[in-house]
Each structure stands twice: as structure tokens, then as C-alpha cells.
Amino acid sequence: MYIAMNRFNIVPGRETDFEKLWQERETHLEQVPGFLDFHLVRGEKQDTSTLYASHSTWASKADFLTWTKSEAFRQAHKDAGKNSDLYIGHPVFEGFDVII
Amino acid sequence: MYIAMNRFNIVPGRETDFEKLWQERETHLEQVPGFLDFHLVRGEKQDTSTLYASHSTWASKADFLTWTKSEAFRQAHKDAGKNSDLYIGHPVFEGFDVII
């Protein structure tokens, strides 16, 4: 099993706008081989930004990597450049192999 | 729902020892109210350390916090000071509220 997290630092006061983007987003992940589940999670609120992460679980790292090279991935990320005023810096990816 | 992650930086070459500690650990989490699941996950291997995280999911943040104040938590962490040669620095906690 594999957990893929992408960390986003959001401008204070824009948290609701960011959450709304994800609520309205069509990812079509359900149809992707090896996809298990998806969550948007909110971490610590700091003075200068609020941490969020996309959190998806996959049967294997290979399934996740195959998805990142697919047309479905390209479609799901085609609007990634929009709403750049919500973000502080670029998202930071972290992938985790599930050991236990 | 709430995700609690504790990040550990492990000395290169000691990864197997660290994983073995967790495989042998008795957490008794199954009996804790609100506990949903637990994983040990391995992130990026860097030159100077390998990232791991404990990853537990809870019905609510309140359930997690109640556990951290319980006798069960104290018992599960009584050996936390041992094997300090495995670690680089202290573990770093991150908690996430599940939004979607």
C-alpha cells in the first residue's frame, strides 16, 4: 500500500476558498486502477499560512505512478495554475510506503 | 475524522531495526474509543536520514486527545526513551482534520 500526500500552504483567510475548490473538483479517481481512497486534510494554522494536504491511498506505488502519467491525471490537474493567489509557495509532495 | 502523524528521522542503515521495534510493539490501540486504524509508513530516504511516520486515523480529534492522556498511551510509550541511537532529532507531530 502507498500513501501520496501533497502539502499546500494557504494564505490566511482563504481557507474556505481552497476547500471549496476541492469540494467542486472532479478527479475521476474512482475509476483509476489501484486507487483506494482520497481525503483533503487540514493541518496546523500558523500566523503566515494554513497547512493542507491531499491524502490518497493506493494499492501500490506503481499504481500511483501510472496514474500520474495518465490522461486522467492531466485532466484532473488542468486547472492547477488557476487561483494562484490562494497559495504560498509551491505544493510539496511526499510519498509513503506502508510498512505496517 | 482525524489523522495523527508523528515523523521520525532515522539514522541511515538502521531502518530495519526501527521497523522491527514497531512490528514488536504492543499498542493496544484496538481497544481505544474512536481509534480506526494504524500504519507505520516510510517516506523518502535522504543522504543523512530516512523519514518514517506513524499514521493513525481516529473518529475525531477529541478521541485522539483523550487517548494521549490515558494510561493506555502511557503504557504504549513507556519505552520511548530506548533505542535513542536510531533517531536523528526528536519526532515531529502533525495532526490533520479530515475535511473531505
pLDDT at A12 over 90: yes
Average pLDDT over residues A20-47: 93
Q: Which three cell numbers stand for residue B93?
A: 507531530
Backbone angles phi, psi at A8, to 5 degrees: -125, 130
What average pLDDT does the segment A57-62 reach? Answer: 98
Kindly state the average pLDDT of the residues B34-40.
97
* Region label for A28, one of left (φ > 0), alpha (ψ between -120 and 50) or beta (otherwise): left
Residues B60-73: tens digit of each pLDDT: 999 999 999 999 89
B53 interface with A at CB cutoff 8 Å: yes
In eight-state DSSP terms, residue A14 is -
For an interface test with B, the pick among A41, A45, A51 (most B C-beta atoms closer than 10 Å) comes out as A41
Contact B96 A19 (CB under 8 A): no
- The answer to whether A96 contacts B55, with C-beta atoms less than 8 Å apart, is yes
Instruction: Decide if A39 touches B, using CB distance below 8 A.
Output: yes
ipTM over 0.90: yes
How is chain B split into domains, by residue range? Answer: 2-97
Nearest to A100 among B3, B22, B43 (CB): B22
Which residue of B lies nearest to A4 if distances are taken between CA atoms?
B43
At residue B82 the predicted structure's pLDDT band, cuts being 50, 70 and 90, is confident
pLDDT of res. B68: 96
Asked if A97 has any chain B CB less than 8 Å from its own CB, the reply is yes
d(CA B18, CA A53): 26
Q: Residue A86 — pLDDT band, cuts 50, 70, 90?
A: very high
Q: Cell numbers 481516529 label which residue?
A: B58
DSSP-derived secondary structure for B70-100: SHHHHHHTTTTTS-GGGBSS--EEEEEEE--
DSSP 8-state assignment for residue A48: S
Does residue B73 sit at the A interface (CB-CB below 8 Å)? no
Q: How far is B59 from chain A (nearest CA, A)?
A: 14
> So what's the pLDDT on residue A75?
86
Classify domain B2-97 at the CATH class level: alpha beta
Residue linked to cell 480506526: B36
Q: How far is A94 from chain B (nearest CA, A)?
A: 7
**Which among B19, B97, B100 has the least Cβ separation from residue A99?**
B19
d(CA A88, CA A90): 7
- Stretch A55-65: mean pLDDT, rounded? 98
Checking if the pLDDT of B23 tops 90, the result is: yes
A93 within 8 A of A5, measured Cβ to Cβ: yes
Residue A8, burial from CB neighbour count under 10 angstroms (0-12, 13-18, 19+): buried
